[in-house]
Amino acid sequence: MCEFVCRSIRVQVRTTASFTREVEGGVQRVVGYFQTTPELINSSTNLDVDGIRSSLHSQVENFKARGSGFTIDIILEFTIVITKYRQLHRRSYIPSLKWPKNKHCVVNVRNEDEKCFLWAVLSCLHEPSRNKEHTNHYKPHLTSLKVSGIDFPMSPKQIPVFEEQNPEISINLYAVDPENTELAFIIEYLSSHKERQLHVNLLLFEEPETGKSHYTWIRDMSRLVAHRTNHSGKTYVCNSCLHPFTTKKAHDNHLSYCQSHPSQQVKYPDPADNILRFKSIHKQHPVPFYLVCDFESFLTHRIPSTTTRQMTSTRVAAGSARLTNIGLADSAVTVSRHTPNIRPRRHCTEEPTT
């Protein structure tokens, strides 16, 4: 017997039932499909069996109300879907990874509550000169942010709601690619408000073992992606594709093109396989089978119609040729021709007279 152990799961019930009712001349059958809202289950929350039963009963009654006389004949399918649930928001403070800490490119506030998103934003808007990770610098400004209707811990899906309530702030959110924790990033959210006065770039830290995640402020984008270029100085990074440019002019010229497309991610090739080679050898000429056909014909003299003023002509084959190449270039070529023993006749091109 196997055990499936995880901190949180989501449970959903899906069922299919057959309904019948008596109609004139026989029995009418229809099929109904029902499902419950996914329910979160963890160590502090049990499965609400009564709620599932009540939801299914309500859906069945609504279905029967659309056509009088329907009754359940048989349950065709009853499925319980159980999936591992991993929350994409912060539950507790997560220490910075080694590589961004060495680059000094992020500010990771040591918060004790579930509002790491707000602390990360405030660390950008009110940056102190030292001890940037302490919440004491930002507590006086906590009420300056409007968060009506936003739940904490905050999900990335709520960032547009935050931007709507704070029209002077725009947010970009990036995450570390789990497949390559140092070289690649994932763009979780890219703000559409490019011209706002205050802009904040956030980096999401995650712990796959515990499912925890934590927001931090990217203080220096140039240092964050410095490994992508051989340039030793400061670079200007595009927020849409995270490509570093050595000059501001090149960066500004790039923005008009990049921002007209959805957010992108630059993926570098594997150093062990970074040479582009042509691999479709079988698509090159000469081909295994090559066939060319040609067909010629001519029109016979026109015959006037006995009922209309139109004339009709007949198309007669004059000759054909076929060239077949089976195999490669050094194989034999077969040419066949056919010329019928028909000589074209002169015909009148004038309209018939009456």
Q: What is the pLDDT of residue 352?
A: 46
Q: CA angle, 223 as apex, 180 and 257 as ends, to 5°?
A: 85
Q: What is the 3-state secondary structure (H, E, C) of the chain?
A: CCCCCCCEEEEEEEEEEEEEEEECCEEEEEEEEEECCCEEEECCECCCHHHHHHHHHHHHHHHHHCCCCCEEEEEEEEEEEEEECCCCCCCCCCCCCHHHHHHCCEECCCCCCCCHHHHHHHHHHCCCCCCCCCHHHCHHHHHHCCCCCCCCCCCHHHHHHHHHHCCCEEEEEEEECCCCCCCCEEEEECCCCCCCCEEEEEEEEEECCCCEEEEEEECCHHHHCHHHCCCCCCCEECCCCCCEECCHHHHHHHHHHHCCCCCCCCCCCCHHHCCCCCCCHHHCCCCCEEEEEEEEEEECCCEECCCCCCEECCEEEEEEEEEEEECCCCCCEEEEEECCCCCCCCCCCCCCCC
Phi-psi map region of 149: left, alpha, beta (phi>0 left; psi -120 to 50 alpha): left
User: Residue 277's pLDDT is what?
Assistant: 84
Cα-flanking dihedrals φ and ψ of residue 123, to 5°?
-65, -25
| pLDDT for 6 beyond 80 | no
Q: Look at 23-32, 93-102, 270-279, 338-347 and tell me which has the smallest mean pLDDT.
A: 338-347
Q: What is the pLDDT of residues 216-235, one digit of tens each?
A: 999 988 888 888 788 888 88
Q: How far apart are CA 9 and CA 6, in angstroms?
A: 7
What's the whole-number mean pLDDT along residues 59-63?
A: 85
pTM (predicted TM-score) = 0.50
User: Higher pLDDT residue, 95 or 144?
Assistant: 144
Q: What was the pLDDT predicted at 180?
A: 61
pLDDT at 86: 59
Give me the percent of the chain exceeding a pLDDT of 70. Answer: 77
At 281, list the tokens: 């050898």
Q: How confident is the model at residue 47 (pLDDT cuts 50, 70, 90)?
A: confident
Rg (CA), the chain: 37
Confidence of residue 353 (pLDDT cuts 50, 70, 90): very low
Alpha carbon distances (Å) from 348 to 288, 317, 344: 49, 20, 13
Q: Mean pLDDT throughout 248-270?
A: 75
Asked if the model's pLDDT at residue 245 lies above 50, the reply is yes
Location of structure tokens 């660390």: 123
Q: Which of 37-46, 130-139, 142-151, 243-252 has the lowest mean pLDDT?
A: 37-46
| pLDDT value, residue 164 | 93
- Beta carbons within 8 Å of 295's beta carbon, 6+ residues apart: 317, 319, 320
Closest Cα partner for 299 from 261, 346, 260?
346
What's the confidence (pLDDT) of residue 4? 42
Average pLDDT of span 160-186? 82
Distance CA 140, CA 137 (A): 7
pLDDT for position 354 = 41
Span 277-299, average pLDDT? 77
Q: Are strands 198-207 and 169-176 parallel, antiparallel or unpaired?
A: parallel
- b/e string for 162-187 if b means 16 or more Cβ within 10 A? bbeebeebbbbbbbbeeeeeeebbeb
Measuring CA to CA, which residue among 249, 250, 245 is closest to residue 225?
245
Q: Which amino acid is at 37?
A: T
Contacts 24+ apart (CB under 8 A), 244-249: none
Q: What is the pLDDT of residue 349?
A: 42
Q: Residue 55 is which amino acid? A: S
How high is the pLDDT of residue 335?
53
Q: How many other β-carbons are positioned within 10 Å of the β-carbon of residue 219?
A: 19
Backbone phi, psi, residue 214, to 5°: -155, 135
